[in-house]
Amino acid sequence: MRILVLGGDGYLGWPTALHLSRAGHEVGVVDNFARRQYDYEMGVDSLVPVCQLQQRVRVWEEVSGLRLATFVGDLTDATFVSRVLREFRPDSVVHFAEQRSAPYSMIDRQHAVYTQVNNVVGTLNLLYAIAEIDPTIHLVKLGTMGEYGTPNIDIEEGFIEITHRGRTDVLPYPKQPGSFYHLSKVHDSHNIMFACRIWGLRSTDLNQGIVYGQETPETVLHPDLATRFDYDGVFGTVLNRFCVQAVVGHPLTVYGSGGQTRGMLDIRDTLACVELACTNPAEPGEYRVFNQFTESFSVGQLAEMVVDAFPGRVEVEHLEPPRVEKQEHYYRAAHTKLLDLGLVPHLLNQSTIASLLAVADRHRDRVDPAAIAPTVQWRSTASTLFTAGSPVSAGSRPTGTREAETSEA
């Protein structure tokens, strides 16, 4: 197949592009490098050094003998989106190209507006381009389990059958997003579902859980092929943060009681899920939803697993939660559709955590402890961390400050 990966320079987009290329697909990569500029804005960096996209592509072609087409531009530029689709002519488009951090979207008004404009407008431009150029293109969109929130009933895969006053219908599952970022994903879902209904497009919405892991069979072929490892308080994920904290001798910072429960999956399973969605496309006019995770864990459980896996002594510290969320809640979500297509999950175990600890230890000299603290407060309309800054866009210079070193949650 010809598969276009949007956001192909990012944490998941890059290894996805390599995986699909190695599997025999013709792959194109699109990015505007905004994710790299967020690091400049916040004064942080990936724990694992990441090469520039051009170098990555050259090394991949040398190592594998396979070509990656590259396109540099912004999805909020409708002309650029249309040009790329006409030039590459994909069978499937895998859409990772969005601002994906909940804390980043909650910094202040500017960051909330930027997140929603970037994400929603970019996806709308893509939908219009597909409809106008080739409605048979299958859109594989990376959504999030965070769209659902934490309801006190089972979470279904996108839709739920409701009986009300004697009448029954299948409706989109109610959404209770927890940030302006998650809200942007809900808006995307509604827009994509609408486009499928009125234009006959076909799309798979992958509501993904929290991804862990940094190495894939392709990224370990050469150091220049490595993907990101984020541990900071804005873009870092909880398991990454715990592993880094353990390695540098910092207490594991659990927000609140630690009962917050989320779906999670190994990075290798993300790649497999995306390929399964591409090679088993939705029908024309069909909007379908796959819940893309393999297991559920509470934050407290993850902390305990890191404590057990780390060979030294590790302490756990409970902090006042920066987010507005339930600390203890019911969580049971369906995730059978990808399993039915053949997904064989990599489950989280002590060996997996040990590999993450090893990555953190190899790069421990790059750890900035001040970057780990939760500096964004959901209850505030303006963060003290970024009062002098604003979101960056492609090609601009960052304007954010680095006051995180003196900020405390």
Q: How far apart are CA 280 and CA 140, in angstroms?
A: 11
- Tracing tokens 């934050």 back to the chain, one arrives at 299
**Which residues, in sequence order, are CB contacts of 336 under 8 Å at separation 6+?**
157
Instruction: Respond yes or no: is residue 38 known to be catalytic.
Output: no
Q: Which of 76, 123, 144, 150 is catalytic?
A: 144
- At residue 265, what is the residue type? L
**Which residues, in sequence order, are CB contacts of 107 under 8 Å at separation 6+?**
234, 376, 382, 383, 385, 386
Contacts 24+ apart (CB under 8 A), 380-388: 381/108, 381/109, 382/107, 382/108, 382/109, 383/106, 383/107, 383/108, 385/107, 386/107, 386/108, 386/111, 387/108
Q: Which of 181, 231, 255, 331 is catalytic?
A: 181
Nearest to 191 by CA among 210, 208, 172: 172
Q: How far apart are CA 306 and CA 171, in angstroms?
A: 40
Instruction: Respond yes or no: is residue 144 known to be catalytic.
Output: yes
Distances (CA, A) of 119 to 7, 95, 115, 156: 12, 11, 6, 24
**Which residues, in sequence order, are CB contacts of 91 under 8 Å at separation 6+?**
1, 2, 3, 136, 137, 138, 278
- The residues with which 3 forms a beta bridge, in sequence order, are 27, 92
Q: Which of 76, 185, 219, 231 is catalytic?
A: 185
Other residues' Cβ atoms within 10 Å of the Cβ of residue 166: 5
Q: How far apart are CA 67 and CA 25, in angstroms?
A: 10
Q: Taking a C-beta distance cutoff of 8 angstroms, is the pair 148, 333 a contact? A: yes
Could you please report the per-residue DSSP string of 368-394?
-GGGTS----TT-SB-GGGTT-----T
Instruction: Respond yes or no: is residue 128 known to be catalytic.
Output: no
Residues assigned a catalytic role:
144, 181, 185
